[in-house]
A and B are shown apart, each in its own frame.
Chain A
Amino acid sequence: MDLRDFYSRLSVDESLAEVMGYNPYYQKIDSGLNARILVNGHEMIDLASNNYLGLAADNRVKQAAMEAIKKYGVSLCGTPIATGYIDLFQRLEKKLSHFVGLEETIILPSCYQANNGLFNCIAGPKDLIVVDRLVHSSLIEGIKSTGSKIRPFLHNNLEHLEGILQRSIGYRQVFVVTESVFSTEGSIAPFKEIVQLCEKYEAMPIIDDSHGIGVLGKSGRGILEEQRIAGYRGIYTASLGKAIANSGGMISGEKKLINYLKYYCSHLVYSTALTPAVLAGISSVLDIIHSEFSGIKEKLINKQRQIYEALLEGEFKVIYSKAPINSIQTGSKEATFILNQKLYEKGILSTPFIEPAVPINEGRVRLIASASLSQDTVDEAVAIIKRIGLS
């Protein structure tokens, strides 16, 4: 045994970044998500963050966070089961449950953690987990930790899913796992139909609504509202770091499930609770959504459409999406990096996805135009996109 051997195994393949003289990862951001963001000291247009509603730097949300800090300090230095469970925390659980229309909720430090911690509490080697082939890493890692049989189904393919469910007999419990909005594609799951299939085959549906909460539905309540899924008896998770513009992850469902997780989900029980500023920030965002959602959503859709049309004019292979996401099919990882770099050089920050975040050779460059971008900024982005596309 030699420590050198250990460290020599830890090499990162940075050859692509070296060849290109550009690394899109861990870019240093020197500002908040303002009208323009500062990246490595340069002013840029943010089409990369998940700040869908543009509330991350909203003055009312900042104010709410500051008031919470004044009252409680910056941390309760304890996990929710111990000193972390302040009144703000409890009220937010109720507010989030009410928001998504489910019985009860727990709040974890992140949705990655929520998805990681959920599965090994509820599933084991005697169970089967049927999962959309394109779900997020946090779900895959959570699922893998259970020792359950795993069967992926083709992305959003109900026929394939039903075939698997038909043939899945003899398991203690079958789970069907998917996301509402697949953020690398912008595709939306036919979740209502998936829930119906689950009912037919007595499977338990689990949905990750990270990119749907605060975005989908008439009043922003997410996928269940969008697809009018009433009386949902499955499990629901979502990130509070995207449209909800703070951080954290929620798991919601029936009281029996949530109460069990409150004691047995080690990712919740043994991890320091979200801080007062974040709890207050989330609550404030929910209030804004409550009173202003339709106006904000209109702006969001309008901006997405302008970017979409620019991409079409620029002759990019862009995937049409009903979610406020524009995803360009770039293919190889080289082509993905090159487009991301061209955008960067012209002043647009975008998100590149290469394997393993997406299947091999299905690279994507994603653009998300926040509702709060000004028309001037969108005009500028549109001009840059068209110029790059036609050059």
Chain B
Amino acid sequence: MTIQSVLDKRPVITLDSHLLEDLRVDSLDKLMILSALEDEFAITIAEDDFADVVTINDIVMKLKARGFFEGTHSHL
């Protein structure tokens, strides 16, 4: 939902959605997603740490690695 809020006019987002191919995310969109996640999870994200994400699931994995979503269903 956080991600949806900064991507207007886009198709449905699933864990498998590719940022580039499915969601047409460009570099500024990506910055916007990262900002929204920073706000949502009250964290600071260095852009470089997220340079290699390709799908929404990759983002979830990165957040999991920081201890988020343990034992919960993720609502991105």
Contacts and interface: CB of A to CB of B under 8 A. Distances in A.
Interface of A: 133, 140, 150-154, 160, 163-164, 167, 355-356, 359-361
A243 to B, nearest CB: 27
Given A150-B31, A154-B8, A359-B24, 9 more contacts: A133-B32, A151-B35, A152-B28, A152-B31, A154-B32, A164-B39, A359-B26, A360-B24, A361-B24
A359 B31 contact: no
A355 B35 contact: no
B29 interface: yes
Contacts of B24: 359-361
B13 interface: no
* A-side interface mostly: mixed
B6 interface: yes
Contacts of B31: 150-152
A359 B39 contact: no
Given A154-B6, A154-B8, A359 B35 contact: no
* B-side interface mostly: helix
Contacts of B39: 163-164, 167
A154 B26 CA distance: 14
A239 B26 CA distance: 26
Contacts of B26: 355-356, 359-360
Nearest to A163: B39
Contacts of B32: 133, 151-154
Nearest to A361: B24
Interface in B15-50: 24, 26, 28-29, 31-32, 35, 39
Interface of B: 6, 8, 24, 26, 28-29, 31-32, 35, 39
Nearest to B28: A152
Candidate in A153, A355, A359 with the most chain B CB atoms within 10 angstroms: A359
A140 B35 contact: no
B11 to A, nearest CB: 11
A357 to B, nearest CB: 11
A154 B8 CA distance: 9
Contacts of B6: 154, 160
Contacts of B28: 133, 140, 152
Q: 7 tightest A-B contacts by CB?
A: A360-B24, A151-B35, A152-B32, A152-B28, A152-B31, A167-B39, A133-B28
Contacts of B29: 133, 152, 359
B45 to A, nearest CB: 10
Nearest to B25: A360
A172 to B, nearest CB: 16
Nearest to B23: A360
Candidate in B6, B28, B39 with the most chain A CB atoms within 10 angstroms: B28
A141 B29 CA distance: 16
A140 B28 CA distance: 9
21 contacts: A133-B28, A133-B32, A140-B28, A150-B31, A151-B31, A151-B32, A151-B35, A152-B31, A154-B6, A154-B32, A163-B39, A164-B39, A167-B39, A355-B26, A356-B26, A359-B24, A359-B26, A359-B29, A360-B24, A360-B26, A361-B24
